[in-house]
Structure 1
Amino acid sequence: MTTAGAAHAVTAAAGQHSAPVTHWGGRILLTLVVLAVLSGIYWLMWRGWKNRAARQADLPAPPSAAPEGSDLGDAVEGVYASTTAHGDWLDRIAAHGLGVRSNAWVRVGRSGVLFEREAAPDVFVPAEDVQAVQSAPGIAGKVTGGEGLIVLTWRLGERVVDTGFQPRAKSDRARLIDGVDALLTERTNG
């Protein structure tokens, strides 16, 4: 017989039972306090996000569709991480849904780059607004380590922003970077 079993047998033989829970009022009050604190924290987070979006309201909304007859290439599936202020990978852009992480497909063509997102507005970056593309270890909302994220630098109105995208297949990283580099080369040479 184990030690725990022996102790249980001794308490059962002595007629002792575990003490019943008698402080229901205190437990219910503590539960309500915890729920109120969590609700307050979530409300403050929501309010902070709304205030951030209001501060960034001067940013124009990016186009949500490519121009008619655009020559966009094949879609690459992945995760749209977020859009941030250029050079500050933690300063997420909340306006126009640009900071919302979602599954997405990206297409690159001569007319620009199109992010087709689930449960969020699509984002089209015209070719003339594309500034650069590079691989990076992370951006607000997604840290991959290594160089698993593709960061597209582009102009939105008067501001320069970075958009992070992580392709599902590693082989698609080079293809996307090469596609955007070809777009930039054609624009500068053409």
Structure 2
Amino acid sequence: MPTLLAAAGAQDTGKHSARVTDLADRIGWIVGLALFVALVYWLMRQGWQWRRTLQGGLPALPQPPEPTGDVPEPLLTLQGRYHGSTTAGEWLDRIVVHGLGVRSKAALTLTEQGLTVDRTGAPGFHVPAAALRGARLDRAIAGKVLPEGGLLVITWEHGGTLIDSGFRSDHAAEHSAWVTAIGRLSGEHLNEAVASTDTRQDEKEGAK
């Protein structure tokens, strides 16, 4: 009888030790996972700080002009989301300064004066018509990938840097109209700039 009791006691002790070991292993895994997540978060923050330092030369974003007289009639409006901005042609080279790295809801208004972007929870900005360089349908920007043609990417120039900004309308069928309208608007201003350059060149040659 004492032998049976001793055997039972040893069995219970073994089970208890196994439970303690399992608990220790689980705690170890949880602590390790928490440390890994903290490391990834720290590396991401360091990456953003590094990008901010590199992009520190980008001027503050332009704001909509003060209304004078009649408010320009909107050519197009859009409700949707802003998905980020990158250096033009480099869909992973994210721009983070001046709030451009923050994804947010957005309302876009296009007029003959340019593009106004109002954002929820992040700074809005204005792109003068003369700074627009075109628009296209795309599927990825700033690490965000959507179905083919699911993004409206608008290219604009600011502080000597060409920027791609990605938007998605609540009604994706609207994107094509924006590509056409911005292409027309940017083309008109490009033609004006070329004509102005030619005029100045003719004036210089005439003065010789």
TM-score of the aligned structures, taking structure 2 as reference length = 0.74
* Matched letter for residue 166 of structure 2: G
1:81–1:141: 8 Å Cα contact kept in structure 2? no
Aligned twin of 1:170: 172
Query: CA 1:94 to 1:66, structure 2 compared with 1: closer, same or farther past 3 Å?
Result: same
Structure 1, residues 22-80: CA drift from partner, whole Å, max 9, x if none? 234443344223212211221111111111111110111212x3112252625311111
Distance 1:100 1:94 in 2: 7
Distance 2:37 2:132 in 1: 42
Max radius of gyration: which structure?
2
2:139–2:146: 8 Å Cα contact kept in structure 1? yes
2:64–2:116: 8 Å Cα contact kept in structure 1? yes
Distance 1:137 1:109 in 2: 26
In terms of fraction of residues, the more helix-rich structure is: 2
Aligned twin of 1:60: 59
Aligned twin of 2:111: 109
Aligned twin of 2:30: 31
Give the drift of 1:108. Answer: 0.4
- The alignment's C-alpha RMSD in Å is 2.1
Distance 2:157 2:31 in 1: 48
Structure 1, residues 56-115: CA drift from partner, whole Å, max 9, x if none? 10111212x311225262531111111100111110111111122111111101111111
State the number of aligned residues. Answer: 172
User: Structure 2: 5+ residue runs without aligned partners?
Assistant: 1-11, 193-208
Q: Which moved more, 1:180-189 or 1:118-127?
A: 180-189
1:71 aligns with 2:69: no
Aligned twin of 1:119: 121
* Percent identity for Structure 1 against Structure 2: 33
User: Structure 1: 5+ residue runs without aligned partners?
Assistant: 1-15
Report the secondary structure of 1:22's partner residue: helix
